[in-house]
Amino acid sequence: MKKFDIPLHYRSPIISKVKAKRKLEDPRKKDFSPTHLNFGNVTFIISRHFGFCYGVENAIEKSYKAIQENPDKRIYLLSQMIHNPDVNNDLLSQGVQFIQDTDGKQLIPWSEIQSEDILIIPAFGTTVETQELLESKGIDTVKYNTTCPFVEKVWNRSSKLGDLDHTIIIHGKHKHEETKATFSHSKENAPSLVVKDIKETQYLADYILGRISTEEFLTFFDGKLSKEFDPLKDLKRIGVVNQTTMLASETQEITDFLRETMIEKYGEENIKEHISDTRDTLCYATNDNQSATLELLNTSADLAVVVGGYNSSNTSHLVELLEPKFPTFFIKNKHEITSINNIQSFDIHTKELNQSDSFLPEKEHTNIIITSGASCPDAVVDDVIQKILELKQAPITIDQIKL
Q: 230 and 117 in one domain?
A: no
Q: Taking 80 as the threshold, does the pLDDT of residue 98 lie above it?
A: yes
Q: 212 and 131 in one domain?
A: no
Distance CA 156, CA 168 (A): 12
Q: Taking 90 as the threshold, does the pLDDT of residue 247 lie above it?
A: no
Q: Taking 90 as the threshold, does the pLDDT of residue 42 lie above it?
A: yes
Per-residue confidence (pLDDT) for residue 280, from 0 to 100: 60
Distance CA 24, CA 155 (A): 34
Residue 402 belongs to some domain of the structure:
no
Q: Pseudo-torsion of CA 175, 181, 187, 192, nearest 10°?
A: -40
Q: What is the largest CA-CA distance in the chain?
A: 68
Q: What is the DSSP letter of 402?
A: -
Per-residue confidence (pLDDT) for residue 12, from 0 to 100: 86
Per-residue confidence (pLDDT) for residue 282, from 0 to 100: 66
Residue 157 belongs to some domain of the structure:
yes
Q: Find residue 368's DSSP bridge partners.
A: 44, 303
Q: pLDDT class for 281, splitting at 50, 70, 90?
A: low
Distance CA 141, CA 62 (A): 13
- Its domain, for residue 78, covers 54-136
Q: Residue 171: in which H helix or E strand, if any?
A: strand 167-171
Q: Taking 70 as the threshold, does the pLDDT of residue 397 lie above it?
A: yes
Per-residue confidence (pLDDT) for residue 102, from 0 to 100: 81
Q: 158 and 128 in one domain?
A: no
Per-residue confidence (pLDDT) for residue 82, from 0 to 100: 77
State the alpha helices, DSSP H only, in 96-244: 128-136, 149-163, 177-186, 198-208, 214-220, 231-234
Q: Find residue 352's DSSP bridge partners.
A: 347
Q: 160 and 258 in one domain?
A: yes
Provide mean pLDDT across the span 328-355. 96
Q: 198 and 237 in one domain?
A: yes
Residue 369 belongs to some domain of the structure:
yes
Among 2-16, 82-96, 197-211, 284-298, the range with the most confident prediction by mean pLDDT is 197-211
Residue 397 belongs to some domain of the structure:
no
Distance CA 206, CA 212 (A): 6
Residue 31 belongs to some domain of the structure:
yes
Q: Taking 80 as the threshold, does the pLDDT of residue 202 lie above it?
A: yes
Provide mean pLDDT across the span 131-136. 94
Q: 336 and 244 in one domain?
A: no
Provide mean pLDDT across the span 173-198. 92
Per-residue confidence (pLDDT) for residue 190, from 0 to 100: 95
Mean pLDDT of the chain: 91
Q: 289 and 273 in one domain?
A: no
Residue 143 belongs to some domain of the structure:
no
Q: 291 and 190 in one domain?
A: no
The least confident of 7-11, 292-296, 355-359, 375-379 is: 7-11
Per-residue confidence (pLDDT) for residue 341, from 0 to 100: 95
Per-residue confidence (pLDDT) for residue 9, from 0 to 100: 83
Q: 247 and 180 in one domain?
A: yes
Phi and psi of 41, rounded to 5°?
Answer: -115, 5
Q: pLDDT class for 200, splitting at 50, 70, 90?
A: very high
Instruction: State what percent of residues in the chain have pLDDT above 70.
Output: 98
Distance CA 371, CA 293 (A): 8
3-state secondary structure of 277: coil
Residue 13 belongs to some domain of the structure:
yes
Q: 295 and 271 in one domain?
A: no
Contact residues for 24 (Cβ-Cβ < 8 A; gap 6+): none
Q: pLDDT class for 44, splitting at 50, 70, 90?
A: very high
313, amino acid identity = S
Q: Taking 80 as the threshold, does the pLDDT of residue 283 lie above it?
A: no
Last residue of a domain, one of 282, 314, 338: 282
Domain with residue 49: its CATH number is 3.40.1010.20
Per-residue confidence (pLDDT) for residue 311, from 0 to 100: 87
Q: Per the residue annotation, which of 57, 177, 178, 250 is the catalytic one?
A: 178
Per-residue confidence (pLDDT) for residue 245, from 0 to 100: 73
Q: 131 and 81 in one domain?
A: yes
Residue 307 belongs to some domain of the structure:
yes
Last residue of a domain, one of 110, 136, 162: 136
Instruction: State what percent of residues in the chain have pLDDT above 90.
Output: 71
Q: Taking 70 as the threshold, does the pLDDT of residue 320 lie above it?
A: yes
Q: Taking 90 as the threshold, does the pLDDT of residue 81 lie above it?
A: no
Per-residue confidence (pLDDT) for residue 252, from 0 to 100: 86
Q: pLDDT class for 61, splitting at 50, 70, 90?
A: very high
Distance CA 126, CA 102 (A): 12
Q: What is the pTM assigned to this prediction?
A: 0.84
Per-residue confidence (pLDDT) for residue 3, from 0 to 100: 74
Q: Taking 70 as the threshold, does the pLDDT of residue 279 lie above it?
A: no
Indicate the angle between helix axes 149-163 and 177-186, nearest 10 degrees: 30
Q: For strands 35-38 and 42-46, give the pairing.
A: antiparallel
Per-residue confidence (pLDDT) for residue 357, from 0 to 100: 94
Last residue of a domain, one of 80, 103, 136: 136
Task: Establish whether 295 is a catalytic residue.
Answer: no
Q: 107 and 213 in one domain?
A: no
Count of structural domains, the chain: 3
